[in-house]
Structure 1
Amino acid sequence: QGLKELEVKWNAQRVDQPHYADHDHPINFNVGKIEGGDWASSVPSWCVFDLRVAVYPGDDLAARRAELEDCIHQAASQDAFLRNAPPQVTYHGLMAEGYTLHDADEAEAALGRAHREAYGAPLPVVATTATTDARFFGLYADTPGLVYGPLSDAIHGFDERVNLESVRQNTQAMALFIADWCGLEDI
């Protein structure tokens, strides 16, 4: 319950984020893995869960980790068992800073032209707190990175799927973008 309340609090902070102010729910806390107990017929004496947490561009990761830990410890202090056996918080895997693309008007315009040609409609602009490789190029290589892909549903869900016609259209749009951005040579 404490983590759900913290997720609501972080989502309310979207009003301070220009790219996410109109997004209904940009921050997700996803408990993607839960393990516990030693035997099916006994009450579990231990539990481990993995949590994936989104952050906004510009967030201080250490400060966000401290908020998470405080939330977990505050919730544990309200439980008779956990008060005497406090949870341990450990971190593993990727911890990704948020990233917002800046100063890429020309590249975005070229992709917009290619998308319009392939789809016959304007390119929708979507801000997401998903971790993408574009952040590595933007934050560490001073290279703007656009993220572009086919229409999809339930990303990373058990029923993840992609619209096959949009794969064809995206392939066409990417080819047009490359031709426009890089130019063509006669062979």
Structure 2
Amino acid sequence: MSQPALAPSSDLGVGSSKVFGLDIRPFERGTRLDLDHLDAAITERAEAAFSFLERLVAAPSTVGNEDEAQVIVEHELKRLGFEVERLSIPEGIGDDPLAGVPQVPHAGRYDIIGRLGDGNDPSLLLNGHVDVVPAEQPDLWTSPPFEPRRDGDRMFGRGAGDMKGGFAMAMLAVDALMAAHPGAIGGSLLFASVIEEECTGNGTLAAARAGVLADAAILPEPTGLDLLVAGVGILWLDVVVTGWSAHAEAADRAVNPVDLSLRIVERLRGLEREMNTRIEPVMDGVAHPYNVNIGTFRSGDWPSSVPATATLRIRVGHPSAWSAEEAEARVRAAILSAGEEERWLRDHPPAIRASGFKARGYALAADDPLAELVAASHEAAHGARPRAKPLASTTDARIYLNDFAVPALCYGPIAHDIHGIDESVELSSIVAGARTLARVIGTWFADPPEHR
């Protein structure tokens, strides 16, 4: 992700210039913000935030294994003065019409919810997902993926970028803000540390269903210090292809499901090409927003045996205009169309089942007051305007925007190789993002939305 230009902070207070029509006057209404004091507090606490990040990255919080990381977040929120609760994920969340298909049982798994302030309006919600994707082939990493390593301005480790660096940024912003201006939260600041963002969004959905909502939500995902305001729809499917197994000496007379799977992949590539010939305006600037990814492929158990089945797990990015139901119908049709040229597939159609995301696309207007405030705060802190951009993927912001009428966007640090080998986050961008976010939070509570 590209890094916007950073510049020294400017002094903003009563009578200061307005950016996007917003007067950046955080904290007590009508008083002056001492930005130097705030930025000094951020600098003083940066190493503590990096230490928190190291502990969090060292907790291998893959889906179903989030407890250790959630306890670390819980302790940090309590240290910052939040009232904290564990919100259990209902076992029946998968039956919710807005839910994705659960990957593992929810028994014993929970979100962490923190509350800071007097409990009144205005309210602001920070949301981060503690789950991370698996670290495939750790031997390919320079260092073990769950042993965080610092090298210059970078911290390496699975989840360092996506999105535990965002947790560190948010905690640093709140820590410094409360130190520089005690009592700054004249309302309700909520923090939701959720599970399953990487596969369903059910953690955020469960919290929202339980009433963990606010006037607006900010998700410190790794956006490169830009504003992420839109995402495509996402669908996960499992496809099981059945062949006719045999000894390899009779392979010419058997039916190999691997060969059949390649025919199906060809049809999926055709769907991908078709989708990308008509890119919706919200994805402007993204050359190829709709991707079909064959995430896993498994077949066979012996070189001299023709396998009986092959299983593909696929992820399809699709236009926002498609509902989850329409997306699934179109993808199913593409898969089954392989039977037009392969009689075996026509007579023995593959089994197709939903597995994970059933996410609609989403978009926040670039001129939404929340986007304006975050952009103005970034410019005030760094002297350059951030971009408002879309993503060829999804985030939990879609749940707030699509289903609960809560304005939401993502703003967070600069990360490299997320979901890949040697994932990392730039530590200086955590500090830079905290400078922006502290200004956003202060402004939000000093100048409530209804006053803007």
- TM beyond 0.5: yes
Structure 2 partner of 1:108: 371
Could you tell me how far 1:92 is from its partner in structure 2? 1.9
Amino acid at match of 2:356: G
When residues 115 and 62 of structure 1 are mapped into structure 2, their CA distance, relative to the original with a 3 A threshold, is same
Residue 293 of structure 2, aligned match among 30, 36, 41: 30
Q: Which segments of 5 or more consecutive residues in structure 1 lack a partner in the other structure?
A: none
Whole-angstrom CA distance in 1 between matches of 2:363 and 2:309 = 40
- The answer to whether 1:179 aligns with 2:448 is no
Amino acid at match of 2:354: Y
Instruction: Report SS of the residue matched to 2:297.
Output: strand
Map Cα deviations across residues 96-150 of structure 1 (whole Å, 9 max, x no partner).
Answer: 1111114862211110122123333211111113221111111121110011111
* Match runs of 1:8-27 below 5 Å: 8-14=273-279, 17-27=280-290
Could you tell me how far 1:40 is from its partner in structure 2? 4.2
Instruction: Report SS of the residue matched to 1:137.
Output: helix
The 8 Å contact of residues 118 and 170 in structure 1, kept in 2 or not, is answered as no
* Match runs of 1:68-147 below 5 Å: 68-102=331-365, 105-147=368-410
Residue 48 of structure 1, aligned match among 304, 311, 315: 311
Moved more, 71-80 or 60-69: 71-80
Instruction: Report SS of the residue matched to 2:363.
Output: coil
The 8 Å contact of residues 366 and 372 in structure 2, kept in 1 or not, is answered as no
Could you tell me how far 1:64 is from its partner in structure 2? 1.7
- The answer to whether 1:160 aligns with 2:434 is no
Count residues with an aligned counterpart. Answer: 182
Select the structure that is richer in helix: 1
Instruction: Report SS of the residue matched to 1:122.
Output: coil
Whole-angstrom CA distance in 2 between matches of 1:149 and 1:103 = 17
When residues 29 and 161 of structure 1 are mapped into structure 2, their CA distance, relative to the original with a 3 A threshold, is farther
Whole-angstrom CA distance in 2 between matches of 1:11 and 1:75 = 20
- The answer to whether 1:62 aligns with 2:321 is no
C-alpha RMSD of the superposition: 2.1
Whole-angstrom CA distance in 1 between matches of 2:336 and 2:432 = 49
Ranges of 4+ aligned residues in structure 1 off by more than 4 Å: none
Amino acid at match of 2:436: A
The 8 Å contact of residues 370 and 408 in structure 2, kept in 1 or not, is answered as no
The 8 Å contact of residues 413 and 429 in structure 2, kept in 1 or not, is answered as yes
Instruction: Report SS of the residue matched to 2:295.
Output: strand
Structure 2 partner of 1:4: 269
Instruction: Report SS of the residue matched to 1:54.
Output: strand
Map Cα deviations across residues 35-85 of structure 1 (whole Å, 9 max, x no partner).
Answer: 111334423221111111112223222222111111111123323543443
Instruction: Report SS of the residue matched to 1:86.
Output: coil
Higher relative contact order (CA 8 A, sep 6+): 2
Identity %: 31
Q: Which segments of 5 or more consecutive residues in structure 2 lack a partner in the other structure?
A: 1-265, 448-452
Select the structure that is richer in strand: 2
Amino acid at match of 2:317: A
The 8 Å contact of residues 76 and 83 in structure 1, kept in 2 or not, is answered as yes
The 8 Å contact of residues 29 and 51 in structure 1, kept in 2 or not, is answered as yes
Q: Select the structure of larger CA radius of gyration.
A: 2
Whole-angstrom CA distance in 2 between matches of 1:157 and 1:76 = 35
When residues 46 and 120 of structure 1 are mapped into structure 2, their CA distance, relative to the original with a 3 A threshold, is same
When residues 8 and 155 of structure 1 are mapped into structure 2, their CA distance, relative to the original with a 3 A threshold, is farther
